[in-house]
Amino acid sequence: MEIAQKNRLRQAVRRALFGLLPSWALTERVENADRAVFLTFDDGPHPEHTPKLLDELARYGAKATFFAVGGRIAEHPEIARRIVAEGHTLGHHSYHHTDPSHTTAAQLAEEIEKTLALAKEHGLGVLRFFRPPHGKLTAGKLGRLMRSRQSTVLWNVDTKDYSCDHEWEIIAWLERNPLRPGDIALMHDNHAVAPRAIGAVLEQLQSSGLEAKALTIDHL
Ligand SMILES: [Zn+2]
């Protein structure tokens, strides 16, 4: 099959899947978000970048969602506790962040159990939101997640912050591609760029009358 045909088929399967499943199970954009946008940060907590990001979010009174890697929560539980204490939503992003093509549904389920137990142990509450590494899922993995009452959250805006060397690149990209209400934007808190860009990004949002909010179950 040609690559273009394969891509069209994948898109069709994806659209059908999103249409069939309840929105709590799988979402990539929030409907009826009013003026809210949802900034999401993957791959932390990072000892330097995540606290900087939290300082900036606090300065602007903005909230976000963090998809933390279990193994990194184990290394920096105090940062995960700060995320929760400051009113952001803590989601999870597997325990090891292994390439999803090397992870079976059973292995993923094990990693999720391990992360949920760790969160409980550190007083981080019951985590409800999951983002698969690289956003890749199979039907088998999604089924397991649904059985564990986990909401899988993808994104509809990829800022590609991880490939930027300077914050102005992401600020300029968002000026050309402004966020709209309900958008779920992918960023990362294990890189220096997001904490440096976030102030300007939040100012852009405020000047457009938009508000950065943390994802809650009511949004799905
Ligand atoms: Zn990731």
| 87-125 confidence digits (pLDDT tens) | 999 999 999 998 888 899 999 999 999 999 999 999 999
Measure 59 CA to ligand 1 centroid, in angstroms: 26
What is the SS3 assignment for 86-133?
CCCEEEECCCCCCCHHHCCHHHHHHHHHHHHHHHHHCCCCCCCEECCH
Across residues 166-179, what is the average pLDDT?
95
**Ion ligand 1 residues within 5 Å by Cβ:** 42-43, 133
Kindly state the tokens that stand for 220. 């799905």
- Element housing 8 (H / E): helix 3-20
Task: Please give the Cα distance from 2 to 88 (Å, whole number).
Answer: 43
Measure 93 CA to ligand 1 centroid, in angstroms: 7
Considering only residues 179 and 23, tell me which one the structure prediction assigns the higher pLDDT.
179
> Residue 132 — φ and ψ, nearest 5°?
-70, 145
Measure 55 CA to ligand 1 centroid, in angstroms: 22
Measure 25 CA to ligand 1 centroid, in angstroms: 19
Above pLDDT 70, what percent of the chain?
99
Between the CA of residue 122 and those of 27, 51, 125, what are the distances in Å? Answer: 28, 18, 8
The catalytic residues are 42, 188
Strand-pairing partners, residue 89, are 65
Residue 163 CB partners (closer than 8 Å, separation 6+):
none
Measure 67 CA to ligand 1 centroid, in angstroms: 8
> Of 167, 156, 216, which Cα lies nearest the Cα of 14?
156
Residue 106 Cα to chain centre, angstroms: 22
Residue 193 CB partners (closer than 8 Å, separation 6+):
161, 162, 164, 165, 166, 167, 169, 170
Given a contact cutoff of 8 angstroms between Cβ atoms, the answer to whether 129 and 89 are in contact is yes
Q: Which domains does the chain have, with CATH numbers?
A: 3-219 (3.20.20.370)
Measure 94 CA to ligand 1 centroid, in angstroms: 9
Considering only residues 19 and 38, tell me which one the structure prediction assigns the higher pLDDT.
38
Name the CA radius of gyration of the chain, rounded. 17
- Judge whether residue 19 has pLDDT over 80: no
Express each pLDDT in 201-210 by its tens digit: 999 999 999 9
- Element housing 211 (H / E): strand 211-212
Given a contact cutoff of 8 angstroms between Cβ atoms, the answer to whether 68 and 45 are in contact is yes
Measure 42 CA to ligand 1 centroid, in angstroms: 5
